[in-house]
Amino acid sequence: MTGSAHATGVPHGSAPVPRARPAGSFASLVELVAGGGVAVLSGAGLSTESGIPDYRGPTGRARRAEPMTYQAFVGSAQARRRYWARSHVGWRRIGQARPNTGHHAVARLERHGLLAGIVTQNVDGLHQAAGARRVVELHGGLDRVVCLSCRRRTSRTELDHRLRAANPGWEASGRINPDGDAVLTDEQVEGFRVVDCTACGGLLKPDVVFFGENVPRDRVDACFALVGGAKALLVLGSSLAVRSGLRFVTRAAELGIPIGIVNQGPTRGDADAAFTLDAPLGDTLGALAARLTGR
């Protein structure tokens, strides 16, 4: 099975719908954010400069296979072995990733009082690592693991140590997917040992939303409240290819809240945007923060 497991991905057959792009400028971006009260919606494109590939941008690869679903994960020991072997390899990249200029710029804008909050579709924790505080992880975070029986949460670092101990001498490598798992062959996966919850023996799952799961209702409501109470919505590095993120752009448009989009390539939200800016995220956001925070 190829393709990543989390709901942040792009299912087979879906693609950004080409729509008109109201071209903007750096001045448009400055004007939008300078007024304050901005809700940020970030996607995988913001993390590419940290070495994490995106889905459909310049460094991305369109999916060519169905991702693993929650139902497959809980229903098949073989599927769990495949997932954890791939994720164990991929975590080496995600766990070592560091915030880039874009993440630091967003955190600076927040500290300067210009942001109402951040909704991120990413599961890499880089917003928080850069110092941002008001972050809603729409799809959860890879740095945590949850037991599906007792709901106990533990750190991914602890699980990494346990998996290494359970698989002495096991080594594999493969192309890293945006959600942090690696593409491995069946031969590489064979023999990998999965570990269970130390408290109750239940199945362990990364604390992220898989395909086939719903984002918790209270989390969705918090995101809608953040967007609905904002003076503007700024989309950063997301093609908005799936409804999970697009719905917040749709809501902002319904409420008449101005929307700015900074992304390399078209998005499904372009027709609702006041402006779009096709530009590298790091340089653009770094310059924005410097302009508005005086640093």
Does 88 participate in catalysis according to the annotation? Answer: no
CB 118 within 8 A of CB 40: yes
The β-bridge relationship of strands 204-208 and 232-236 is unpaired
Query: Residues with Cβ < 8 Å from 151, sequence gap 6 or more?
Result: none
The two three-digit tokens of residue 21, written as one number = 């792009």
The β-bridge relationship of strands 232-236 and 38-42 is parallel
Catalytic residue among 88, 103, 139, 161: 139
Active site amino acids: 139
